[in-house]
Structure 1
Amino acid sequence: MTALGFLYPGHSAEDDYPRIEQLLGSDIRVDLVHTDIGEDARREDALRALGSPERLAAGVQELRHAGAEAVVWASTSGSFGYGWEGANEQVRGLAVAAGMPASSTSFGFVHAGRELGVRRVAIGATYPDDIAGLFADFLRAGDLDVVAVRGSGIGTAAEAGTWGEAELFALARAADHADADAVLLPDTALHTVSYLTALEKELGKPVLTANQVTVWEALRLADRRVNAPNLGALFTREPIVQV
Structure 2
Amino acid sequence: MTALGLLYPGHFAEDDYARIEQLLGSDIRVDLVHTDVGEDAHRVEVLRQIGTPERLAKGVEQLRLSGAEAVVWACTSGGFVHGWEGAQEQVRSLAVTAGLPASSTSFAFVHAAKEVGAARVAVGAPYPEDVSGLFAEFLRTGGIEVSAVHSSGSVTAAEVGAWGEDEVLALARAADTPDADAVLLPDTALHTAAHLPDLEKELGKPVLTANQVTVWEGLRLADRRVNAPGLGALFTREPIVQV
Query: What residue number does 2:137 align with?
Result: 137
* Distance in 1 separating the partners of 2:184 and 2:241: 23
Aligned residue identity for 1:54: E
- C-alpha deviation, 1:242, in angstroms: 2.2
Aligned residue identity for 2:16: D
Query: What residue number does 2:205 align with?
Result: 205
The correspondence of residues 36-185 of structure 1 with structure 2, limited to 5 A, is 36-185=36-185
- C-alpha deviation, 1:241, in angstroms: 1.3
**Structure 1 residues 28-77: Cα deviation after superposition (integer angstroms, max 9, x where no partner):** 00000000001111111111100111111110000000000000000000
- C-alpha deviation, 1:117, in angstroms: 1.2
Aligned residue identity for 1:111: H
* Distance in 2 separating the partners of 1:40 and 1:160: 11
**Structure 1 residues 124-172: Cα deviation after superposition (integer angstroms, max 9, x where no partner):** 0000011000000000000000000000110110110000011111110
**Structure 1 residues 86-125: Cα deviation after superposition (integer angstroms, max 9, x where no partner):** 0000000000000000000000000001111110000000
Query: What residue number does 2:35 align with?
Result: 35
Aligned residue identity for 1:118: A
Query: What residue number does 1:239 align with?
Result: 239
**Structure 1 residues 197-227: Cα deviation after superposition (integer angstroms, max 9, x where no partner):** 1100000000000000000000000000000
Gaps of 5+ in 2: none
Aligned residue identity for 2:202: E
The correspondence of residues 204-223 of structure 1 with structure 2, limited to 5 A, is 204-223=204-223
* Distance in 1 separating the partners of 2:187 and 2:102: 19
**Structure 1 residues 160-204: Cα deviation after superposition (integer angstroms, max 9, x where no partner):** 000001111111000000110000000100000000011000000
Aligned residue identity for 1:88: Q
3-state SS in 1 of match to 2:33: strand
* Distance in 2 separating the partners of 1:97 and 1:58: 10
* Distance in 2 separating the partners of 1:120 and 1:114: 10
3-state SS in 2 of match to 1:86: helix
* Distance in 2 separating the partners of 1:149 and 1:88: 23
Query: What residue number does 1:14 align with?
Result: 14
Aligned residue identity for 2:92: R
Aligned residue identity for 1:114: K
3-state SS in 2 of match to 1:193: coil
* Distance in 1 separating the partners of 2:122 and 2:115: 17
3-state SS in 1 of match to 2:31: strand
* Distance in 2 separating the partners of 1:229 and 1:206: 12
Gaps of 5+ in 1: none
3-state SS in 1 of match to 2:149: strand
* Distance in 2 separating the partners of 1:15 and 1:131: 25
Aligned length: 243
